[in-house]
A and B are shown apart, each in its own frame.
Chain A
Amino acid sequence: MTGTRPDPSKLYHRKMPATWWLQKQSYFLFMLRELSSVFIAIFLLVYLYQIYQLTQGPEAYVAFTQKLASPGWLLFHLVALAFALYHTITWFQSSAVVLPVRLGEHLVPRQIVTALHIGAWVVVSLGILILFLALKN
């Protein structure tokens, strides 16, 4: 079935502004979520650099650890932690959407799947902490 197509020369095309993600809260939160990956990557490189100090002698490792106590570094890690937590929560929310969980006949509600992820994350985090305390020195 063919109808008349609109005259392309008279169509008005609106261009999407490059600042689209600043114009709506949901879009802005989306962009923050994406940028959380930057802070996570930078932190991991800082961690790697700290580990690298061990190849320069034990004093180098301790010295760099002390450097991380400066207000600038503390602020960075605070910001990085906030972004990392935002990634964690949004990742678990996304996981519930991407991988639906079936219990017999019924679909487990997404909030419960997310909550279970968070519970597992708490357990894993505590496990890492305990492992670190056990292995250090």
Chain B
Amino acid sequence: MAEPTITLNVTRYRPGQDQAPTTQAYAVPYKEDWVVLDALNHVKDQIDGTLSYRWSCRMGVCGSCGMMVNGTPKLTCAAFLRDYYPQEIRVEPLVNFPIIRDLVIDMTDFMEKLKSVKPWIIRKEEKPVSEGEYLQTPAELEAFHQFTQCINCMLCYAACPVYGLELKFLGPAAIALGYRYNMDSRDQGKDEREIIGNHDGIWDCTFVGECSVVCPKHVDPAAAIQRSKVDVTKNWFQSILMPWGQR
């Protein structure tokens, strides 16, 4: 009896050659414990070595293998063939990003946005090393810990329709990252992260919430954004109604 197979319909795009992306079908062996990434690796190793895609750890911690699987942004190392079999699986590059080649997208914009929120501890005055480390209670850690779990996989940007419509939008991961530092008790740099409170920061977000739905690490960027809105609004009203009592 022939080994069961499953068909992957994969986006192909050769820069400088193709006018537009096309779809190529590959029949790969169906194995119960395989994920889409295993199928892609099988294609690359056994069927078509010209297929290009990013991947690394294959266990959901590096954030490299994000792609659209049947229209949903997913880590291909976490998308099991058995959840789709026997239907065909559509594999496309993450939406809202330009395609470089095949399944590889250009992440320059994403990287710039991460940098723009100044993702490091900012102190008004540095503590000398002789004074020891910054102490933090478990409660203080809990206040931001969830938001440290981002693996920069960009699934949230692919899921966000606001980013799809407006590429200037700072986006879920960048705002969640900024929020992570603003909520860190060691940080004193909230005022320097004003990009978050400006237009194309939190205010573009309409709380669709899809970013948090697709996030593989349960960072909940939507929560970070909405809580930032509350924070910025509170400060704004305070500065208007009580301008003498700043901070």
Contact = CB atoms under 8 A, between A and B. Distances in A.
Contacts of A47: none
A137 interface: no
B180 to A, nearest CB: 15
Interface string A54-75: 0000000000000000000000
Interface stretch (A14-22, A38-46, A79-87, A113-121): A14-22
B139 interface: yes
Contact of A97 (B13, B20, B71, B222): B222
User: Could you say which interface size class chain B belongs to?
Assistant: 20 to 34
A23 B226 CA distance: 25
A96 to B, nearest CB: 10
B99 to A, nearest CB: 4
20 contacts: A5-B108, A6-B106, A6-B108, A7-B15, A11-B98, A12-B13, A12-B15, A12-B21, A12-B98, A12-B99, A13-B99, A23-B71, A26-B209, A27-B161, A27-B210, A94-B207, A98-B226, A98-B229, A99-B230, A100-B227
A105 B226 CA distance: 23
Interface of A: 5-7, 10-14, 16, 20-21, 23-24, 26-27, 30, 34, 94, 97-100, 105
Given A11-B98, A20-B164, A98-B223, A30 B208 contact: yes
A5 to B, nearest CB: 7
Nearest to B15: A10
B100 interface: yes
A30 B164 CA distance: 16
